C-alpha cells in the first residue's frame, strides 16, 4: 500500500479513504459508514512521540500504598524505560487508574478499579481481572479493554474507538454518547443503554433495561436477550449476514459466543424521525482489531 500523507487522506471522501487504506466498510443506518481497519495497518496509528515499548519487558507495581497519581506516573516512567507489559497489583477500587495512556501497552490490572478507570486511552490493551466502577474507559480512543467481572454505570461513555468488553453485567447508561468503537457486554445492561449514541456498535449478550437507545442519532445496538423497552426513536432493523458475521467474529474473539449462536440477536438502530444530525465526527482513525 502506498504511503499517503494526512493532507491526501483528508481530501478524500470516506469511501475513497477506506479503499486507499485497505479497510472494509459497511453502510450503517443513515449516512455514516462503519470502517474497520486492516489488522496489518494498526501500527500506523500510534503517536509518534509515544515511547517505543517492548511487550516482552514485563514488570509489576504494588499499588497498595500508592495514590492514583503516583501509580499513573509510575506507569509512564516504566513505559519510558521500555516496559511494554505492566501488572498493577492490589488496586482496591482506586479511581482513575491508567487514564490517558496514549500508546501501545499491555496493562494488566489484578483486581478491581473505581471510577474513571482507563479513561482517555489511545492504544493500550488493558485486562482488568476484577470489576470496574462508573465511567470505565470514558472517551477511550483506541485499543482494547477487557473487564472480567461486572462494571458500573456509564460504561464507555463517549468512547470513540477500540473494543471495550465487559464479561459480566453493566449498570445504567452504558455507552451514553458513544461516538465510535465497540462495546461488548457478556451479561445484562441497565436503563438508557445507548442514550444519545452517535456512532459505533454495541453488543449486549444478555437483557437490556428500559429505554434502550433513547435519542440515539446513529450507531447499532445488538441485543441477545430481552429488551425491557425501547427509548425515543430507537427501532429494530433486519439482522443481515454481514451483521451475523461481524457478531460471530467479535464474540468468538472475546470468548462470549452464545451456545445458540447469533441468529437470535435483535438489531436496534436510530429511527431518525426526531433528529437531524449531520455533523458526525471524522471517522475514527485508531480502531485496532
Q: Contacting another protein (CB under 8 A), which of 128, 191, 204, 269?
A: 191
- Compare residues 85 and 153 and give the one whose CB is closer to another protein: 153
What is the C-alpha separation between 289 and 285, in angstroms, rounded?
12
Is 131 near another protein (CB under 8 A)?
Answer: yes
- For another protein, the closer of residues 137 and 288 by Cβ is 137
- Listed ranges 38-46, 139-147, 149-157, 276-284: which one lies at the site for another protein (CB under 8 A): 149-157
- Quick check: 133 binds another protein (CB under 8 A)? yes
Contact 179, 159 (CB under 8 A): yes
Residues 227-286 that bind another protein (CB under 8 A): none
C-beta of 92 vs 249, nearer to another protein: 92
Q: Using CA atoms, how far apart are residues 134 and 246, in angstroms rounded to an integer?
A: 28
Cα 182–chain centre separation: 4
Residue 286 in contact with residue 142, Cβ under 8 Å? yes
Please write down the long-range contacts of 118-125, taking CB distance under 8 Å and 24 or more positions apart: 118/145, 121/145, 121/162, 122/47, 122/286, 123/45, 123/46, 123/47, 123/50, 123/286, 123/288, 124/98
Question: Quick one: 94 or 250, whose CB is closer to another protein?
Answer: 94
Among 17, 104, 160, 173, binds another protein (CB under 8 A): 173
- Tell me the pairing of strands 266-270 and 234-237: antiparallel
112 binds another protein (CB under 8 A): yes
- Minimum separation from the CB atom of position 114 to another protein (A): 5
> How far are the Cα atoms of 22, 42, 131, 154, 218 from residue 94, in angstroms, in the given order?
41, 31, 12, 17, 34
CB of 263 to another protein, least distance (A): 28
Region near another protein per CB under 8 A, out of 69-77, 106-114, 252-260, 263-271:
106-114
Q: Which residues make up the interface to another protein (CB under 8 A)?
A: 90, 92-95, 111-115, 129-131, 133-134, 149-153, 168-169, 171-173, 190-191, 209-210
Amino acid at each position: 500500500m502506498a504511503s499517503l500523507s494526512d493532507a491526501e487522506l483528508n481530501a478524500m471522501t470516506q469511501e475513497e479513504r477506506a479503499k486507499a487504506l485497505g479497510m472494509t466498510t459497511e453502510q450503517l443506518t443513515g449516512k455514516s459508514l462503519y470502517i474497520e481497519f486492516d489488522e496489518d495497518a494498526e501500527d500506523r496509528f500510534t503517536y509518534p512521540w509515544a515511547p517505543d515499548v517492548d511487550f516482552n519487558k514485563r514488570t509489576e507495581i504494588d499499588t497498595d500504598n500508592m495514590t492514583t497519581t503516583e501509580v499513573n506516573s509510575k506507569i509512564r516512567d516504566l513505559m519510558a524505560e521500555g516496559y511494554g507489559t505492566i501488572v498493577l497489583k492490589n488496586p482496591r477500587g482506586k479511581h482513575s487508574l491508567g487514564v490517558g495512556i496514549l500508546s501501545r501497552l499491555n496493562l494488566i490490572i489484578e483486581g478491581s478499579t473505581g471510577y474513571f478507570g482507563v479513561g482517555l486511552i489511545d492504544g493500550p490493551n488493558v485486562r482488568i481481572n476484577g470489576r470496574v466502577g462508573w465511567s470505565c474507559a470514558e472517551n477511550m480512543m483506541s485499543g482494547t479493554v477487557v473487564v472480567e467481572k461486572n462494571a458500573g454505570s456509564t460504561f464507555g461513555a463517549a468512547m470513540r474507538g477500540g473494543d471495550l468488553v465487559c464479561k459480566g453485567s453493566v449498570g445504567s447508561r452504558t455507552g451514553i454518547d458513544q461516538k465510535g468503537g465497540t462495546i461488548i457486554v457478556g451479561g445484562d445492561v441497565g436503563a438508557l443503554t445507548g442514550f444519545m449514541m452517535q456512532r459505533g456498535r454495541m453488543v449486549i449478550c444478555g437483557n437490556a433495561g428500559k429505554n434502550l437507545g433513547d435519542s440515539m442519532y446513529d450507531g447499532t445496538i445488538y441485543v441477545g436477550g430481552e429488551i425491557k423497552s425501547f427509548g425515543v426513536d430507537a427501532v429494530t432493523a433486519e439482522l443481515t449476514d454481514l451483521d451475523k458475521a461481524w457478531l460471530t467474529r467479535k464474540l468468538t474473539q472475546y470468548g462470549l459466543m452464545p451456545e445458540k449462536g447469533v441468529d437470535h440477536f435483535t438489531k436496534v438502530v436510530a429511527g431518525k424521525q426526531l433528529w437531524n444530525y449531520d455533523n458526525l465526527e471524522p471517522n475514527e482513525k485508531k480502531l485496532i482489531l
